[in-house]
A = this chain, B = another copy of it.
């Protein structure tokens, strides 16, 4: 990896070496969970922000301040939109203040109404964005291998009240876009994609792209804008509505022509986006290398398997997610999480619980027409492990060592 992005890695390495930590877990009592010394002197986390070019960011935001143009579709936002377009390969790209408001804008701009069929197995923001603007999430089940929305389950959930379908490219795994496109066309409703976790992921061959898709540049994403999002579409009509809606319903002459909100990205966020996207390829290399390292390190651990990255796409490997089979591993996901936590390895249950178990979306509140058993199983078994610019290959080796020992001494 090239220059600036290595700074994080070096700092992380020094930080951890300074702790004089245990290198391997040779006995049960070496595990901190059973009384041993924690493997990491300081927390190692999922989602520590990547800042590959601090000085470049400070330079850009300083220029924005000097020109006294801090928001309202400024030159940095325009430039970031152009740079992002090179990665989404969509004709029209609108930067936003975050992905949740971007989702609201996208589904409104696509004409989604009534009930929206979507996975329960996603970050709650996907469902909240629908509910916030008066749409009703209807949950369908997901594929057990990829974790993405299953078109067969969606087809079963379609009803006369269905007004749209929201696929989620969870962990950067692209949905079965062709299968979802078939169901959406049959139902006569718009198909929108929540690509919050999929910036940098593209199909290797042309694939149905939906009416619009939404990316996230939240602090914890591979590319961050402090907070930020993007609505991307190939439709000039949808784009015109997105542009207007994200800026108070204004048209290009600043007349209010329809509904709207304030979803605008500001110049500081765009500055961070520009500074970071210049290092995106380097960052993708780091994530890919760490993913491969985990795959090797966990290859022989029974019952703990990396969720597959689907074929036929490029992948950002932004999330390294294992699935814990309690029978084969001898411990369940929550116990493994506790063992890692004792070592100061802060993992995340991405994504658990399922949205359909949360108070606003329980069966007694919203209509849930289909079986969600794959979702139920996955939400009990998945665990996201630390990755990113603040994680070193050595860290990964030691995390894998902890996991192997946790299973061995379970």
A236 to B: closest C-beta gap in Å: 20
A-B pairs, top 7 by smallest CB distance, nearest first, are A100-B262, A226-B266, A134-B134, A70-B219, A71-B219, A256-B358, A268-B268
* Interface membership of A378, Cβ < 8 A: no
Known interface pairs A57-B65, A62-B58, A268-B269. Does A100 touch B261 (Cβ–Cβ under 8 Å)?
yes
A6 to B340, CA, bound (A): 54
Binary interface encoding of chain A residues 256-275 relative to chain B, with 1 for a CB under 8 A from any of its CBs, else 0? 11111110101111001000
A98 to B132, CA, bound (A): 16
A residues 355-408 touching B (CB-CB < 8 Å): 358-360, 390
* Interface membership of A159, Cβ < 8 A: no
Chain B residues, Cβ within 8 Å of A185 = none
Cross-interface CB contact of A49 among B70, B98, B133, B227, cutoff 8 Å: B70
A369 to B382, CA, bound (A): 55
A101 to B248, CA, bound (A): 12
A81 to B42, CA, bound (A): 29
A residues 122-142 touching B (CB-CB < 8 Å): 124-125, 128-129, 131-134
Known interface pairs A261-B129, A359-B258, A360-B258. Does A226 touch B101 (Cβ–Cβ under 8 Å)?
no
A224 to B248, CA, bound (A): 19
* Interface membership of A23, Cβ < 8 A: no
Do B359 and A267 touch across chains, with their CB atoms under 8 A apart? no
Chain B residues, Cβ within 8 Å of A268 = 61, 226, 268-269, 272
Chain B residues, Cβ within 8 Å of A101 = 101, 261-262
A360 to B98, CA, bound (A): 25
Known interface pairs A128-B261, A261-B132. Does A360 touch B72 (Cβ–Cβ under 8 Å)?
no
A358 to B227, CA, bound (A): 31
A113 to B: closest C-beta gap in Å: 12
Chain B residues, Cβ within 8 Å of A68 = 48-49, 51, 390
* Interface membership of A10, Cβ < 8 A: no
A219 to B218, CA, bound (A): 21
* Interface membership of A87, Cβ < 8 A: no
Interface of A toward B, CB cutoff 8 Å: 48-49, 51, 54, 57-58, 61-62, 65-66, 68-72, 97-101, 104, 124-125, 128-129, 131-134, 218-219, 224, 226-227, 248-249, 256-262, 264, 266-269, 272, 358-360, 390
A49 to B360, CA, bound (A): 40
A9 to B: closest C-beta gap in Å: 13
Cross-interface CB contact of A249 among B104, B128, B264, B390, cutoff 8 Å: B128
Do A226 and B267 touch across chains, with their CB atoms under 8 A apart? yes
A48 to B182, CA, bound (A): 50
Chain B residues, Cβ within 8 Å of A272 = 268
Do A266 and B133 touch across chains, with their CB atoms under 8 A apart? no
Most chain B C-beta atoms within 10 Å of own C-beta, residue among A71, A248, A258, A266: A266
Chain B residues, Cβ within 8 Å of A69 = 49, 219
Chain B residues, Cβ within 8 Å of A227 = 70-71, 97, 262, 264, 266
Residue of B nearest to A250 (CB): B124
A69 to B51, CA, bound (A): 11
A262 to B57, CA, bound (A): 24
Chain B residues, Cβ within 8 Å of A257 = 359
6 other A-B residue contacts (CB within 8 Å) besides A69-B219, A124-B256: A58-B58, A99-B262, A101-B101, A104-B261, A259-B360, A268-B269
Do A131 and B62 touch across chains, with their CB atoms under 8 A apart? no
Cross-interface CB contact of A132 among B128, B218, B259, cutoff 8 Å: B259
A61 to B69, CA, bound (A): 18
Do B124 and A249 touch across chains, with their CB atoms under 8 A apart? yes
